[in-house]
Amino acid sequence: MAALLVAALTFTLPAQQQPKKKSTAPAPAPAPVELKFDKTVGSAKAPITIDVYTDFECPACGALYTRTLRRVIQEYVWANKVHLVHHDYPLPMHKYSRDAARWAIAASTFGKYEAVADSLFENQATLTATGAVEALASKGLSAEEVKKIKQILDKQMNQVDANIERDIFQAKTSQVTQTPTMFIRHKDKTYPVVGAVSFQVFKTTLDDLLSRK
């Protein structure tokens, strides 16, 4: 009986002492980081908020930006009188406007939406003629910033496109029928403005609203 017990222990102990095999299943991929887009300029506490819907290939949008919004930013936004909110509304007939919007939106994750938008609108004719989105959007950005945008567009394009679709949905909900369209919000009222309004006309409107108690 003792011999049989010893034999049984000799047979079972090595099996119990064998190390467990490591799992060969791949580790789960980390969840994608939720991007934070900021396509605004100025303080959200400013008395006037302007929502502007534009397309980077729209000639009227280019005129509005370069002739009017630049001065609005300089004279009203930086004076904490206006909060400017950009909305991307790439139109189907424009071949490169969505890609241009993608670059600007990706740049918005680190505070460079305005820099990219400024370059794209300034060079709009070249954009439409050549489709050189990357070259034009990269002007004024560092090599590291360009690399970051490319990584976002490569790995998180779905979030960038979702941001565009939200703007398009919001535009349709707000009955935007053409670009550029702006909505000036002051206190409890909203004033729609359509087309490439000159700075002098726009200035008159803003000053009038700011004068109201």
Kindly list the structural domains of the chain, giving each domain's residue range(s) and its CATH number in brackets, ordered by start: 40-211 (3.40.30.10)
pLDDT at 140: 85
Residue type, 183: F
User: Cα–Cα distance between 182 and 193 in angstroms, integer?
Assistant: 5
Task: Output the pLDDT for position 120.
Answer: 98
Task: Indicate the pTM of the whole model.
Answer: 0.84
User: What gap in Å lies between CA 79 and CA 163, rounded to an integer?
Assistant: 29
Query: Which pLDDT belongs to residue 33?
Result: 81
Q: How many helices (H) and strands (E) are present in the chain, helices listed first?
A: 10, 5
Q: What is the pLDDT of residues 176-207, one digit of tens each?
A: 999 999 999 999 999 999 999 999 999 999 99
85-102: pLDDT as tens digits: 999 999 999 999 999 999
Say if residues 112 and 40 touch (Cβ distance below 8 Å): no
**What DSSP line would sit under 57-108, residue for residue?**
T-HHHHHHIIIIIHHHIIIIITTTSEEEEEEE---TT-SSHHHHHHHHHHHG
- Residues in the chain predicted with pLDDT less than 70, given as ranges, are 1-32
pLDDT at residue 11, rounded to an integer: 43
